[in-house]
Amino acid sequence: MEINSTVAFNFDGQIGVYHGKVRDVYTLSENRLVMVASDRISAFDHILPKGIPHKGQVLNQVATYFLDATKDIVPNWLVATPDPCVAVGYACEPIRVEMVIRGYLAGHAAREYKAGKRVLCGVVLPEGLTENDRFPKPIITPAVKAEEGHDEDISREDILLHGHVSQEVYEKMELYTRKLFQRGTEMAFKQGLILVDTKYEFGLLNGEVVLIDEIHTPDSSRYFYAEGYEERQVLGLEQKQLSKEFVRQWLIENGFQGLEGQEIPHMPDEFVQIISERYIELYEKITGNQFVKSDTTNSNDRIFNNVQAYLQKEIK
């Protein structure tokens, strides 16, 4: 049974709910959030028609793993994980600037480069790069989060010019972004992976910048296998990767990039299963832990009961 948006929970102290592309966020009294990671999958800012078994659990547990491993760098929103698919934490004021950092020319950056662009979000890109080449040093290419549709690339200068955040807050976000990417890179390398690019989201809690949402998951990050990377680049071969990019490539090959008039292609059950296996593989590869599938017989009942039990215990 996949976890989806057709069920609207009503937790103790609940005062609001927001259904995102992948997560459902429940606002509770006393400045708390309950974030349920669903099995939905999105690409090109569209929710695909079929859920991916155990995807929500993978996202939640990978994010928890890295939030715990980076709390010495930056404070974060997480307090507890009462269910494999649920995180409970502080409600923060979200900063609507998404901090994207790239160590390699891949994904969106590669597509822009191939189209002839040599400046991305105000960052000048070197000439002569091949897709998936490493940058001399990681670059930050922010995006402004849109209420609907695609997030928009933006430069540091325009962020400050238009007052999206103050210079003090932006500089703190930039510092945290570089430190988090360095930590993620080191952790990935120990597991035989390359952290190619990722994004971080921040918020304000009592005036302080804190890390929110997820980090270093297959939805927010791209990983290559370190073994064979150099050889593949020399030979002009595709990199073996663990990320959602292969889903985007499948959609592109089947005539969908989220553009007006395009229809999302039918996803065969076999492809859905492959996606699920890829997500589980990433969890095990990046954490070094075996993935234990949660009981999905009555996922929504399980989630509700576990969250309610946690909230009632917290009150006592």
14-92+269-315 CATH, one of 3.30.450.20, 3.90.580.10, 3.40.50.1370, 3.30.200.20: 3.30.200.20
pLDDT in tens, 108-135: 999 999 999 999 999 999 999 999 999 9
pLDDT tens for each residue of 238-269? 999 877 878 988 999 999 999 989 999 999 99
93 contacts 204 by C-beta, under 8 angstroms: yes
Tokens 């102290």 -> residue: 13
The tens digit of pLDDT for each residue in 166-187 reads 999 999 999 999 999 999 999 9
Long-range contacts of 73-77 (CB under 8 A, 24+ apart): 73/176, 73/179, 73/180, 73/183, 74/176, 74/179, 74/180, 74/209, 74/210, 74/211, 75/205, 75/208, 75/210, 75/211, 76/210, 76/211, 76/212, 77/33, 77/203, 77/205, 77/210, 77/211, 77/212, 77/213
Kindly report the average pLDDT of the chain as a whole number. 92
Domain ranges of the chain: 14-92+269-315, 94-247
Q: What is the pLDDT of residue 145?
A: 75
Model pLDDT for residues 24-80, shown as the tens digit of each residue: 999 999 899 999 999 999 988 889 999 999 999 999 999 999 999 999 999 999 999
Average pLDDT of span 4-9: 66
The CATH number that domain 94-247 falls under is 3.30.470.20
- What does the pLDDT read at residue 149? 55
What pTM did the predictor assign?
A: 0.88
Largest CA distance in the chain: 62
Check residue 246 and give its pLDDT.
85
